[in-house]
Amino acid sequence: MQPPVRYSPDVEVVRPDEEQTIDQLNEAFDTILTRVAEHSGHAVRSVHAKSHGILEGTLTVDAGLPSELAQGLFAKAGEHKVYMRMSTNAGDILPDAVSLPRGLALKVLDVEGGRLPDAEGATQNFIMVNGKVFQAPNAEKFLGSLKLLAGTTDRVEGLKVAASTVLRGVNKALHAVGIDSPTIGSLGGAPNVDPLGETYYSLTPFRYGDYIAKFSVAPVAPALTALTGTEIDASGRPNAIRETVQSEMMGIAGEWEFRVQLCRDLERQPVEDPTVEWKEDEAPFQRVGVVRVQPQDSWDPARVQAVDEEMRFSVWTGLAAHQPLGNINRARNATYRHSAEFRERFNRCPIHEPGAVRGS
């Protein structure tokens, strides 16, 4: 196996039109944010708006990691409090019969080290979904999909449910012949799976101290792996996923491995194109820690208020040692902040990092 590629600034290639594309992304997100807020009277996130569970637990960083894995947050063995937010990727609050990819956001507290620019507090955020590749190679291509989604935001739920049923069938047929379609999944054709059994991936690459990596969180507790691939019947139950997770977590001691996939060949594991899967036989995931969650109410009102309403999750909140890399990640900085600022203004509820007086 090839040694990991060492990080240097020239692994990124900044496109000349990035600022213009980011402005257009913010305009499209504004359409989503405004329509949902005006219809419901409450502002939500422009992506991954609907939460299915908010969990509190710990991340234990493994001791004795080899030097290439002992980087950034993972350079020092120890335990950190974490919040986990499970979600679905739409920017409006849809009934769960519209089946979309699952998301997992992880906020690790009390993290030491130099911070990214404007990264308040002392947390490290990781944002992942239950797929291995992003739906667009760059922000400009993603903008086209976002405009389509913005045009359908908060419109005709019944049609979305019906379309999702059809798209799920199409996706299953493609999967049966060895084809996976992130585009069909993002439009409502994803399997309606239990989020507790899913493996999540960062999709985009990050600096990993001296190296470059993608991240993954994978269930390892038997009670979680037993749920892998289990589909939830959401017929007539708009919050079926949330209710299922809440019921299950009352009796589950959850355990997930936190894994790192080091880049070993910039051509085969590119930084700027997240539609290219980093094949695990060429760049394997390696465990660097474990997330543990005790049985709890995953929809505890106080925790939901504190995390879902009063915090934001951004890949740009964290250590300079885990700087987000690539065009999609660069575009996420301003757009995530833009979304959080909208929520803060509309809901008149300050958003902040744990331990910080006030965030954005």
Q: What is the mean pLDDT of the chain?
A: 86
Whole-prediction pTM: 0.86
Rounded Cα distance, 307 and 97, in Å: 25
Rounded Cα distance, 337 and 317, in Å: 10
Inform me whether the pLDDT recorded for 177 exceeds 60: no
> Which residues partner with 54 through β-bridges?
85
Question: What is the reported pLDDT for 138?
Answer: 87
Work out the number of other CB atoms within 10 angstroms of the CB of residue 141: 16
Rounded Cα distance, 161 and 153, in Å: 13
- pLDDT class of 49 with cuts at 50, 70, 90: confident
- Contact status, residue 290 vs residue 219, Cβ threshold 8 Å: no
Inform me whether the pLDDT recorded for 154 exceeds 60: no
CB-based burial, 335-360: b 16+ in 10 Å, e otherwise: bbbbbbebbbebbeeebbbbeeeebb
- Find the mean pLDDT for residues 258-285: 97
Residue written as token pair 């589909």 = 231
- Find the mean pLDDT for residues 134-161: 65
Inform me whether the pLDDT recorded for 259 exceeds 70: yes
- Contact status, residue 292 vs residue 58, Cβ threshold 8 Å: yes
Question: What is the reported pLDDT for 315?
Answer: 95
Question: What is the reported pLDDT for 175?
Answer: 37
Point out the least confidently predicted range of 129-138, 175-184, 271-280, 322-331.
175-184
Which parts of 75-156 fold into alpha helices (H)?
Answer: 139-152
Lookup: tokens for 202: 């960062």
Inform me whether the pLDDT recorded for 157 exceeds 80: no
- % of the chain surpassing 90 pLDDT: 61
Lookup: tokens for 189: 């054709």
Inform me whether the pLDDT recorded for 307 exceeds 70: yes
- Contact status, residue 343 vs residue 30, Cβ threshold 8 Å: no
Lookup: tokens for 151: 């045009």
Question: What is the reported pLDDT for 163?
Answer: 37
Query: What is the Cβ-side half-sphere exposure of residue 199, based on CA atoms within 13 angstroms?
Result: 12
Residue written as token pair 């051509």 = 267
Work out the number of other CB atoms within 10 angstroms of the CB of residue 112: 10
- Find the mean pLDDT for residues 74-78: 98
Rounded Cα distance, 358 and 290, in Å: 30
Inform me whether the pLDDT recorded for 27 exceeds 80: yes
Question: What is the reported pLDDT for 358?
Answer: 38
- Contact status, residue 49 vs residue 93, Cβ threshold 8 Å: yes
Which residues are CB-contacts of 129 (< 8 A; sequence separation ≥ 6)? Answer: 89, 101, 102, 103, 104, 200, 201, 203
Residue 26 phi, psi dihedral angles, 5° rounding: -60, -40
- pLDDT class of 22 with cuts at 50, 70, 90: confident
Residue 298 phi, psi dihedral angles, 5° rounding: -75, -5
- Find the mean pLDDT for residues 19-42: 84
Inform me whether the pLDDT recorded for 90 exceeds 90: no
- Find the mean pLDDT for residues 186-215: 89
Lookup: tokens for 181: 């379609």
Question: What is the reported pLDDT for 337?
Answer: 85
